[in-house]
Structure 1
Amino acid sequence: MDIETFLGARAGVARASTLREAGFSRTSLDKALAAGRIVRIRRGIYSAPREAGVLALALQHNALLTCLSAAPTYRLWTLHEPSSVHLSPGHRRTPPGTLTHGRCLHPSHSWLPVAGLADVLIHALRCLPEVESLVMVQCAAQSGDISLDFLRRKLPGNRNARARSVLDYVIPRADSILEVLADYHFRRAGLHVRRHVELPGVGEVDFLIEECVVVETDGDTHLEPGQVKRDRKRNNATLIGGRLGLRFGYDDVVYHPERMVGQVLAVLEQARQGAFGAR
């Protein structure tokens, strides 16, 4: 494994001791530094060039990365790359072009200029659009790194009502960002949704809506030839089992959720009117 791959699996940053334990000698580190493949952001800490910029900025201003800018450190799901660096400067000023968050109230990362997970998520819930903060919290909560009850206690009062409402959309299990977002949009539309439902002859489906329409959310793996064949069989089995089926991809769920929900509602309305015959 080369050093870039190793760093990439660790949010782009590692201590020198960690690199040496992985088999990278001091000579190999010096060569990688000279070639610009890695960057030393401070004594004993190395980074991929891409991550070095924001970490160095935080160190330069004695601030902590937080919110969306800290998500890679904790391997949290995100929808978009941050357009600005999110910093928690304490009582200091941050450079122009950055997004300033309040001071951190919980222990920060043990060796990086990054806020602790609790502050990262609290800042995200207060700062980001609902769906963007939701996927970050979902990732942390379902991995057991933080509890929803803890976050609710940290978000008291009317001023945090919108942030707390996002927590209501965290689900016990999500296999992908698409499931989180689709569930959010379906429930916001007032639909009765069951997730990960086992159907005879079909297997587990992502969603069963109003006990009538099966909805599957397809990531990139569903474009692979073998998976296409399996999905086709599942589609047929869904119809044979007496239920209607719809499939939505990344573009539908992330960029056109209103259209996705509209299509589900249209199928439900046609079913109510008997367009598909009696079930």
Structure 2
Amino acid sequence: MDILKALEVCGGAARRPALARLGVDDAALRRAVRRGLLQPGRGLYALPTAPPDLVAALRNRELLTCSSATTFYNLWSLPSDGRRHVYHRRQEAVCGDSAHHAGLLLPPPQFQPVAALADVLIHALRCLPFAESLVIVECAVARGDMTVDFLRRRLPGNRNGTARAVLDWVDTGADSLLETLARTYFRQAGIHVQPQVYLERVGYVDLLLDGWLVVELDGRHHADWKQVQKDHRRNNESVLQGYTALRYYYGDVVYRPQEMVAQVIAVLNRRR
């Protein structure tokens, strides 16, 4: 296999044995290094664009896991504290302020220094705050890559009670982490929530609360004008049909959820 394609399979960086298993010989590696295509270092070869976390994991013989593995599995994630979350068979070998996770259930992928998906999710449930772990797990479950029952069976005992409690709120049907979080916050407040409801001449709305309050969620930072007009027309049509419409953005859902919930409850109480 071509050296560049082999490194792409490995995520952008790899050690010599992994490249050899993909059919890359020493001569090809030397040619790539001379041409400046690779950044070599003690048996490690990386593209200039390789993710720094990946390179660090390979250098330290670690496996990325928890929130540090979400990119490799294309999982939803919230802003983190910047720490690397890793597995190493010897905890004392973990470098710097990285968060160490013990124990693996399944073998990791063959060509990338990342824990298996099940281990990534279990580590996230045990390690991260409620909202962060919820969106990661729900993304995997909604895609069909994991089941709640599988995770629950592997989180026994009192010490995993907090992790299992997160699983109680995992659902399917959300199109984004904003829908997952907003739906959960509203349900925790005792509000009846229906996700992805189809309204005639409006289309699918993100959330329908108590059968009449439409909540739309927008994660875009810079919406184009045509889309803004389309959203406003949808809101107007829903109001004409007797619904009330509210719209919230990323900052509202992620950083100010209590304010969002309070506003929704105030609107619902008017009808009640």
1:67 match:
66
1:275 match:
none
Q: TM-score, normalization: structure 1?
A: 0.82
Q: Partners of 2:40 and 2:80 in 1: how far apart?
A: 23
Q: Give the C-alpha shift of residue 55 in structure 1.
A: 3.0
Structure 2 unpaired stretches of 5+: none
2:116 match:
116
Q: Partners of 1:42 and 1:96 in 2: how far apart?
A: 20
Q: Partners of 1:20 and 1:30 in 2: how far apart?
A: 17
Q: Partners of 1:174 and 1:222 in 2: how far apart?
A: 22
Structure 1 unpaired stretches of 5+: 273-279
- Taking only aligned residues, the RMSD between alpha carbons, in angstroms, comes to 3.2
| Worse overlay, 101-110 or 118-127 | 101-110
SS at structure 1 position matched to 2:103 = coil
Q: Partners of 2:53 and 2:128 in 1: how far apart?
A: 19
Letter in 1 for 2:162: R
1:178 match:
178
2:268 match:
268
Q: Partners of 1:268 and 1:80 in 2: how far apart?
A: 31
SS at structure 1 position matched to 2:46 = strand
On the 8 A contact 1:11/1:75 being kept in 2, the answer is no
Q: CA distance change for structure 1 residues 13 and 240 in 2, over 3 Å: closer, same or farther?
A: farther
Alignment of 1:155-174 (within 5 A): 155-174=155-174
Q: Partners of 1:69 and 1:100 in 2: how far apart?
A: 11
Q: Give the C-alpha shift of residue 8 in structure 1.
A: 9.1
Number of aligned residue pairs: 262
SS at structure 2 position matched to 1:248 = strand
Q: Deviations over 1:203-240 (max 9, x none)?
A: 11111101121100012188221111111111111111
Q: Give the C-alpha shift of residue 125 in structure 1.
A: 0.3
Q: Give the C-alpha shift of residue 191 in structure 1.
A: 0.8
Q: Partners of 2:244 and 2:217 in 1: how far apart?
A: 15
On the 8 A contact 1:200/1:241 being kept in 2, the answer is no
